[in-house]
Structure 1
């Protein structure tokens, strides 16, 4: 295996390369021989690295086939990095840039059960009379943030029942929510108009990692400033402003 420069600690470097190879292999896994061939070293050398990684649960070995795959500890590293406070801190500059671009209130949220929890907010220079706070929870079914995170899951009306129960207002049926999410998929963004606060509308897109939504970003504005045409323009602003400011591994839906 060619290197541009020698690693300061070769054994650690080898273990990291093993993890990279197993990540690329996915659920198919790799045998000891395959890993040795890819690293260009003897099997016993790779086996020592695997033993250390297995000890900390970064690698798992299938007892039947003997193939090696990423272990639970490796898989949860990304989840831990993109969770809660870490996610909000890493995305804050992107939220600031988007708020400045559209001159509106921007929120970051993620699913917590059947609710959306607000992780961060950036207010524009002009006032927006919206009651929101970091840490506040709202039903995912009636918020643009929640709909953005649900829109690509392909859930049936029956599977959406827990989200309707969390709403509690009785204003949505399973079929109606399924239709709303289908419309969001077709348009490429989620929205809500005056379903939570009179005179207020929101548009949102999910942020994805490995094809799954881990959070969503929304723009909130008075209804008179958020026509259907303006919503589509704001969604385009998401895709234009956010991609270059997102941490590695995160993409905005429909972005590059």
Structure 2
């Protein structure tokens, strides 16, 4: 039930929560009451609930426990300085790409993706690259779901992403934004990608190609750091 809340749904009624978690309303109401007693949920306005600041230590604990983010951070900082754009680390969770870490550049028009921000698999460069990295059966099921629910066919884009080891997008998540994403080959079961986002107007075609090449090199450096740490 706690995972039903996100930046897209920060408050919900008992009936809405019941639908999300697939539980009868009466049972869901008991869950809500228990979480209220634990001070993890509170009533915002009549009949609607939101999580409390009591959950924030969980987010901090998750970040501290994520050794991939910790190992990737120095390389991400260097990439942001060299490329002059925001660098993001995303990992796969369920049907979402979740931002694990972010390093902003010092130029105007920075982006405010926060760790914990999520986007659907198949959306934007990051969502497509992560979706392409999933095992065949899981990927095909999600591709079929995307086509059925949104009327969008992404198979060709995923084939390109897998073959070329990058994906790019223009304005799919935010208007006027160009993004590219490359795989992080860490040898771990949870797929991860390194992404760059910036205003499309200030990134020329040549600069985009250079950014993709550079991002792939940075991803390889992170892979080596993770491998050395694992050994």
TM-score by length of 1: 0.55
Cα distance in 2 for partners of 1:83, 1:140 equals: 25
**1:96 paired to 2:70:** no
Alignment of 1:140-151 (within 5 A): 140-151=121-132
Q: 1:205 to 1:213 in 2, by over 3 A?
A: farther
Q: Aligned with 1:88: secondary structure? A: helix
Are the counterparts in 1 of residues 104 and 111 from structure 2 also a CA contact under 8 Å?
no
**1:164 paired to 2:141:** no
Aligned to 2:202: 225
Q: Which has the higher helix share?
A: 2
State the Cα distance separating 1:121 from its structure 2 match.
0.6
Cα distance in 2 for partners of 1:115, 1:162 equals: 15
State the Cα distance separating 1:211 from its structure 2 match.
8.1
Q: 1:199 to 1:125 in 2, by over 3 A?
A: same
Aligned to 1:177: 154
Q: Aligned with 1:205: secondary structure? A: strand
Are the counterparts in 2 of residues 191 and 203 from structure 1 also a CA contact under 8 Å?
yes
Alignment partner for residue 249 of structure 1, among 213, 227, 230? 227
Cα distance in 2 for partners of 1:211, 1:113 equals: 16
Are the counterparts in 2 of residues 108 and 218 from structure 1 also a CA contact under 8 Å?
yes
Q: Which runs of 4+ in 1 moved over 6 A?
A: none
Aligned to 1:117: 98
Deviations 1:215-250 (A, max 9, x none): 111010101234444332112112334434542328
Number of aligned positions between the proteins? 164
Q: 1:111 to 1:152 in 2, by over 3 A?
A: closer
Alignment of 1:34-73 (within 5 A): none
Aligned to 1:60: none
Structure 1: segments with no counterpart, 5+ residues: 1-81, 251-256
Aligned to 1:137: 118
Q: 1:177 to 1:222 in 2, by over 3 A?
A: same
Aligned to 2:170: 193
Higher gyration radius (CA): 1
Q: Aligned with 2:185: secondary structure? A: strand
Deviations 1:10-62 (A, max 9, x none): xxxxxxxxxxxxxxxxxxxxxxxxxxxxxxxxxxxxxxxxxxxxxxxxxxxxx
State the Cα distance separating 1:187 from its structure 2 match.
3.2
Aligned to 1:204: 181
Are the counterparts in 2 of residues 114 and 162 from structure 1 also a CA contact under 8 Å?
no
Q: 1:228 to 1:213 in 2, by over 3 A?
A: farther
